[in-house]
């Protein structure tokens, strides 16, 4: 049995596809099947410094849809409050929400608070003669702020969100690749291009380290391999931009003799 260990650093990418996806060219027929052998591969280890944002991510979970009505229930204004991307404490998020609400919904004002007992965000609408409705449809930040249905905020009445504020939008980091593997996707019913899933254990600025402790090997499809595509995604398959912070992966290719 022969083993080739490949160490790949994202900073050495030959082609960057987006903020977290890249192609590393290994060389023509770098890995090639030999007569009487099959090629298996195994992800040996992964090191990912946390450069991605856990709380608000642009185009992923940064919008809150709002409608303003007068006391006669006549719609006066609609808008989408867009939060700036970044990692927030719940108090920083409250301040950001207040700021962006005032910027988007000119002439209307809200006060945003947080219940340390319930761990929920509360909203007070401060404009006399009107009330606000936070809409579920159009709100991508619903899990962050704890919105599960439309929420009506009457004037001068503190209104609490339905669910606790979830400041961690990334539960796991999935590594996608062009290496055809034997993982199964329950959502598609087909073999998945996810090499491995790494539970999120790092806080701001920390480093996630993952080592294959199962010895799992997967069969390489095709006759040869000249390049590897790698990408970071969250648990829902959405792009996970590591904001230029490099990460590394080690993959072992094992040539196994086929028994006759």
Q: What is the CATH number of the domain that holds 6?
A: 2.60.120.1100
- Assess whether 82 and 151 both reside in one domain: yes
Contact by Cβ (8 Å): 146, 161:
yes
- Assess whether 194 and 234 both reside in one domain: yes
- Assess whether 68 and 154 both reside in one domain: yes
pLDDT at residue number 129: 95
Query: What does pLDDT average to in each consecutive run of 10 residues of the chain (260 residues)?
Result: 90 82 83 86 92 92 96 96 94 94 90 94 95 96 96 95 93 88 55 82 79 86 86 90 91 86
Domain that holds residue 210: 2-52+170-257
CA pair distance 253, 217, nearest whole angstrom: 9
Burial of 81 (0-12, 13-18, 19+ CB in 10 A): buried
- Assess whether 188 and 238 both reside in one domain: yes
Residue 48 lies in a domain: yes
- Assess whether 48 and 174 both reside in one domain: yes
- Assess whether 190 and 134 both reside in one domain: no
Residue 189 lies in a domain: yes
- Assess whether 176 and 252 both reside in one domain: yes
Burial of 183 (0-12, 13-18, 19+ CB in 10 A): middle
pLDDT at residue number 184: 55
pLDDT at residue number 27: 83
CA pair distance 121, 112, nearest whole angstrom: 7
- Assess whether 96 and 176 both reside in one domain: no
- Assess whether 69 and 137 both reside in one domain: yes
Residue in the structure block whose two tokens are 């700021």: 99
pLDDT at residue number 30: 84
Is the Cα dihedral 134, 139, 141, 147 positive or negative?
positive
Domain ends where: 126, 160, 194?
160
Residue 220 lies in a domain: yes
List of residues 6+ apart from 178 with CB closer than 8 A = 193, 227, 228, 229
- Assess whether 73 and 134 both reside in one domain: yes
CA pair distance 121, 141, nearest whole angstrom: 13
Q: What is the rounded end-to-end Cα distance, in angstroms, of the chain? A: 15
Burial of 19 (0-12, 13-18, 19+ CB in 10 A): middle
- Assess whether 175 and 48 both reside in one domain: yes
pLDDT at residue number 183: 59
Residue 146 lies in a domain: yes
Domain ends where: 113, 141, 160?
160
Residue 58 lies in a domain: no
Give the number of domains in the chain: 2
Contact by Cβ (8 Å): 10, 224:
no
Residue 165 lies in a domain: no
Residue 57 lies in a domain: no
- Assess whether 233 and 177 both reside in one domain: yes
Domain ends where: 160, 183, 216?
160
Residue 135 lies in a domain: yes
């Amino acid at each position: 049995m022969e083993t080739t260990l490949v160490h790949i650093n994202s900073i050495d990418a030959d082609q960057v596809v987006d903020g977290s996806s890249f192609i590393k060219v290994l060389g023509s027929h770098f890995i090639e099947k030999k007569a009487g052998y099959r090629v298996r591969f195994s992800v040996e280890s992964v090191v990912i410094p946390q450069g991605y944002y856990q709380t608000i991510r642009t185009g992923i979970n940064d919008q809150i849809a709002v409608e303003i009505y007068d006391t006669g229930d006549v719609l006066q204004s609609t808008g989408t409050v867009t939060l700036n991307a970044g990692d927030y404490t719940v108090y920083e998020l409250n301040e950001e929400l207040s700021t962006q609400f005032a910027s988007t919904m000119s002439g209307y004002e809200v006060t945003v608070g947080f219940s340390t007992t319930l761990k929920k965000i509360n909203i007070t609408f401060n404009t006399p003669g009107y009330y606000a409705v936070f809409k579920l449809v159009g709100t991508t930040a619903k899990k962050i702020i704890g919105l599960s249905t439309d929420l009506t905020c009457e004037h001068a009445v503190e209104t609490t969100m339905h669910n606790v504020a979830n400041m961690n939008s990334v539960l796991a980091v999935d590594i996608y690749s062009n290496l055809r593997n034997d993982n199964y996707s329950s959502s598609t019913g087909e073999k998945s291009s996810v090499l491995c899933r790494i539970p999120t254990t790092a806080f701001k600025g920390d480093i996630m380290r993952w080592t294959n402790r199962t010895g799992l090997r997967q069969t390489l499809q095709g006759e040869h391999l000249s390049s590897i595509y790698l990408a970071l995604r969250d648990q829902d398959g959405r792009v996970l931009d590591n904001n230029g912070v490099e990460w590394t992966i080690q993959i072992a290719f094992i040539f196994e003799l086929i028994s006759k």
